[in-house]
Each structure stands twice: as structure tokens, then as C-alpha cells.
Amino acid sequence: MTKYIHGYIPEEQERLLIQAGVLAPLIYPWIDFTGCQHVLEIGSGVGAQSHLLLSLYPHIELSCVEIEKKQIKKAKHNLTQFMDRRIHFMNQDAGDLQLKKKADGVFICWVLEHLNDPAAVLAKARENMFSGAVIYITEVFNSSFHFYPQLSGLDRYYQAYNQLQRNLGGDPDVGLRLGNLLKESGFSEIELSRSGFHLDQTQPKELKKIANYWKELMKSGSEALLAAGIVNTADVLQMEQDLDQIASDPDGVLFYQFIQAKARV
Ligand SMILES: C[S@@+](CC[C@H](N)C(=O)[O-])C[C@H]1O[C@@H](n2cnc3c(N)ncnc32)[C@H](O)[C@@H]1O
């Protein structure tokens, strides 16, 4: 199994909930499960996106597949308010996915970047979908990250973070490949879209909010980066200080694009 850069400590589990809330306005406008009855979420984590899906689509039955038991335990807690709904939690590796009942919708968000064979997981998902079923994927494109002013501490840390993701068998630019991966896995009607942020001091509150979000995202890799000996504690601190500086600098800019894909069986 690929080692996981973010880890499963309680702070990380909490970060996933905050992340889902911060990014929801950028992710969900492109997604539509209105016509679906049974949605499968792959890599459902602590249920942060499941919560949004269940709120947005009150009619759906939701199957959550997640490889880590600790995440499922937390997801059950986070989704208590929906327990009268049809929700199934499955502790499975998405690469060996086995559903009792096929899905007519599949949702994947921030998961394929961690896998060494994302096409195999997509092909497995496809086997568990009805003909005509829809899949929506949202994934990272980390090379698109740019910031101003140039700060070497943040730059170095970011390169180290992405290098560790590659060393662990993942792909920090997997978003770029979504179209080809879906094609290779047998999907058709493939559509791609981009979303993200381009923030500066014309929107100071939003810039600060995203700088803080990015700081927590970067810190979520710090334990693994420190353990791998790729950064030291001073590097972590410098990365945090650089993001604080961008938020307050009169010339501060943050730019990032992630990729979304839609396809059908
Ligand atoms: C960054 S989290 C995202 C969780 C959720 N999609 C969200 O946006 O909040 C990635 C999740 O994918 C899970 N995961 C990684 N590899 C997996 C696999 N092969 N099968 C199922 N889940 C996996 C991890 O355990 C983790 O909970």
C-alpha cells in the first residue's frame, strides 16, 4: 500500500473537514448528481465531502469506500445527523473495490494523487457502475501553484512536499492526466474543467483565508517530511512565516488551479 503523506492524526482529520468547507464553493458548482440514486464515494476520508453530498442531494443512497479504519470511524461520527439515510461505509482498498450493488454516480476528490495506479482504480470503479452512470473527479495540479513575492522558504518546502508525494508513489500533478486516465480506463463522454484561486490584495480577507488554508495543507505533510529527513523544523516554521507574509504583503498573490473531470460509462 502507498504510504499516505497526510497521515491520520486527529488534527489532519479536522483539517479535512475545514478544507471541504473552504473549497466547496469552488468544487461543487460543476458537479451534478441530481439524476442519481446510488452514489459511490471513493476515498471518503472522514466524511467531509460525504456531508456535502448528502446535504446537496437529499434523495441519494451513498456508499463510502475508504482504506483506513480510523477515517471510517471518524466519518460515522461526522455523519451522525444523516444516520436515517441509506449510507454504507466500506473499509476497502479502492483498487479491489467490490460493491453489492452497482452505482449510477461516482465521486472522487483529492484521492488519485495518493495512488500509484490511478487508472486501475478508475477501471475498478467503472466495473461497479451501471451503463450510462456518471463519474466526477476533482484532483490536484500542484505545478500550477504560484505566489508573490518570491519567498525561498515556501518554495523549498513546496518542492519537498511534492517530491515526497512522488517518492511515496503518488502524483502531485495527477489532475493534468485525468482525461487520459479516464480514457485508458474505458470511460467515454470525458469532459475537463479547471477551478481554483487567483488572489491578491484586492480581496485581502479571501487571500488571508486561503493563505491559512494552504499553511494547514502544507503542515499536514510536515510529519512525513520530517520523518523522511527532507525538511527540518526550521523549514516548517519558515514556510508558515512566508505564507503569513504573503497574506499581509501589499504585493501578496496566491494562484492555484485544480482539475475536475466528468465522464460516463
Ligand atoms: C486527502 S483524503 C480526502 C478525503 C475526502 N475525499 C475529502 O476530500 O475530504 C484521501 C483519502 O483517501 C483514502 N485512500 C487513499 N488510498 C486509498 C485506497 N486505495 N482506497 C480507498 N481509500 C484510499 C485515504 O485514506 C484518505 O482518507
SS3 of the chain: the string is CCCCCCCCCHHHHHHHHHHHHHHHHHHHHHCCCCCCCEEEEECCCCCHHHHHHHHHCCCCEEEEEECCHHHHHHHHHHCHHHCCCCEEEEECCHHHCCCCCCEEEEEEECCHHHCCCHHHHHHHHHHCEEEEEEEEEEECCHHHCEEECCCHHHHHHHHHHHHHHHHCCCCCCHHHHHHHHHHHCCCEEEEEEEEEEEECCCCHHHHHHHHHHHHHHHHCCHHHHHHCCCCCHHHHHHHHHHHHHHHHCCCCEEEEEEEEEEEEC
pLDDT score for 1: 34
Angle at 212 (CA atoms; ends 248, 240), nearest 5 degrees:
75
pLDDT in tens, 96-129: 999 999 999 999 999 999 999 999 999 999 999 9
Mean local confidence (pLDDT), 13-33: 94
Which residue is closest in CA terms to ligand 1's atom 1?
110
pLDDT score for 42: 98
State the distance from the centre of ligand 1 to the C-alpha of 114, rounded, in angstroms: 8
Which residue is closest in CA terms to ligand 1's atom 26?
45
In a mutational test of the pocket of ligand 1, which residue from 2, 46, 66 has the highest number of ligand atoms less than 8 Å from its CB? 66
Residue 2 pLDDT level (bands cut at 50, 70, 90)? very low
Question: Would you identify the CATH topology of the domain 10-264?
Answer: Rossmann fold (3.40.50)
66 close to ligand 1 (CB < 6 Angstrom): yes
185 close to ligand 1 (CB < 6 Angstrom): no
pLDDT in tens, 70-97: 999 999 999 999 988 899 999 999 999 9
pLDDT in tens, 155-212: 999 999 999 999 999 999 999 999 999 999 999 999 999 999 999 999 999 999 999 9
Q: Delimit the domains of the chain by residue range.
A: 10-264
pLDDT score for 209: 96
pLDDT score for 240: 98
pLDDT score for 85: 82
State the distance from the centre of ligand 1 to the C-alpha of 66, rounded, in angstroms: 6
pLDDT score for 84: 86
